[in-house]
Amino acid sequence: RLSRPARALLGAAVGVVAGHTVFLIATPAIGTDGLIYHLAEPAMWVTDGHPGTMHAVVSGLPVQAYPKTGEVLFGWAIGTARTPIATSLVMMAALVVAAVSAWSALRRLGVQQWIASTMTVALVVSPVMVAQVGGANTDMLTLAWVLCTGALCLGAISEPRLLPIALVAGGVAVGTKTTAIPIVAVALAVTTWRLRRDLTRQPIALLLATATTLGIGVVWYIQDFVVYHAPFYPFSRLPDGPQLPPVI
C-alpha cells in the first residue's frame, strides 16, 4: 500500500541496513561498556553454562546487579555463533525494531507518512543510535524495546490481541535497563485500562504473557532483592541492605 517513492525509500533503507551490517561484521566497534561488562558477563555464562548468574567483573561497581536481559541475549548470540561479533547482528536487528516501531506508532497516531518517515530517519541516525549499533550496548537496545512496547500498545487499542505481546515486549525492555520502567509501566497501565472490558476474552494469553514478563524482566529485580535486599541496587538501597558503592 506504499506509494512508489515510499517503496523506493524502503528499498534504499534495506540496502543501507544490509551494507552497514556487512561493514560492522568486518570492522566491529564493541565500545567501552561492551568491553568492560556487556560482553564480559556473557563470556562467563557461555563458559560456565549458567546465564544470568552474578559475576563481579568491575571492581567497585556491582554491574552484576544491573538488569541482564540484554546480556543474556548477547550471550545467546555469542554462544550460537562462537564469536562476540555476533552482537553486531543483534544490535542491527534492534535498530530495525526501533525504526519499524517508531514509524508504526507515529502512523497509528495519525501522523502523515512523510513526517513519520522523516522522524524515524532522524531517530535512526541520531548520535546515540549510530554510536551504539556497532557492538554490545543496552541503551539503544532498551529504546528499541520501549518503542516496540509503545507501538504494540497503540495497536492493541484497535486489536486487543496485541496486548499480551505488548506485555512481553515491556518485560524485555525493563529487563534490559531500569530507565524503561516508568515509560513501560504507564503505557501498559493506560492500555490495559482502556481495554479492561476485553481482558476476560483472552485470560490464558494474558496469564502466559504476564508469567513471561516476570521471567524475562522482573526476575532481575527479584534477584537483587534476594541478594542485596533492594530491588534497584546499586542505584538505591533499603535499610537492611549493603551500602551504595562510592561511585554511585
Q: Is the pLDDT of residue 169 over 90?
A: yes
What mean pLDDT is reported for the chain? 91
Average pLDDT for 135-145 = 92
The amino acid sitting at 84 is P
pLDDT tens-digit profile of 73-106?
999 998 898 888 888 899 999 999 999 999 999 9
Phi, psi at 21, each rounded to 5°: -60, -45
Q: Is the pLDDT of residue 208 over 90?
A: yes
The percentage of residues in the chain with a pLDDT greater than 90, rounded to a whole number, is 55
Evaluate whether 45 touches 52 at the Cβ level (below 8 Å): yes
In 3D space, the residue among 206, 211, 171 whose CA is nearest the CA of residue 187 turns out to be 171
In 3D space, the residue among 83, 4, 10, 17 whose CA is nearest the CA of residue 46 turns out to be 83
Q: Is the pLDDT of residue 153 over 90?
A: yes
Q: 3-class SS at 2?
A: coil
The pLDDT value given to residue 104:
94
Average pLDDT for 191-213 = 91
pLDDT confidence of 3, banded at 50, 70, 90?
Answer: confident
Average pLDDT for 171-193 = 95
The pLDDT value given to residue 111:
92
Give Dmax (Cα) for the chain. Answer: 63
The percentage of residues in the chain with a pLDDT greater than 70, rounded to a whole number, is 100
Strands of 148-224, DSSP E? none
How far lies 111's CA from each of 100, 118, 120, 156, in Å? 14, 11, 12, 18
Phi, psi at 241, each rounded to 5°: -100, 175
The pLDDT value given to residue 75:
92
The pLDDT value given to residue 47:
87
Query: For residue 221, what are the contacts with CB-CB under 8 A and spacing of at least 6?
Result: 67, 231, 232
Interatomic CA distance for residues 117 and 107, integer angstroms: 9
Average pLDDT for 183-188 = 96
Interatomic CA distance for residues 192 and 181, integer angstroms: 16
Q: Return the CA Rg of the chain.
A: 19
Q: Is the pLDDT of residue 131 over 90?
A: no
pLDDT confidence of 248, banded at 50, 70, 90?
Answer: confident
Q: Is the pLDDT of residue 175 over 90?
A: yes
Angle at Cα 25 formed by Cα 21 and Cα 30, nearest 5°?
105
Interatomic CA distance for residues 166 and 184, integer angstroms: 9
Q: Is the pLDDT of residue 183 over 90?
A: yes
Residue 9 burial by CB count (10 A; 0-12/13-18/19+): exposed, middle or buried?
middle
Average pLDDT for 127-146 = 90
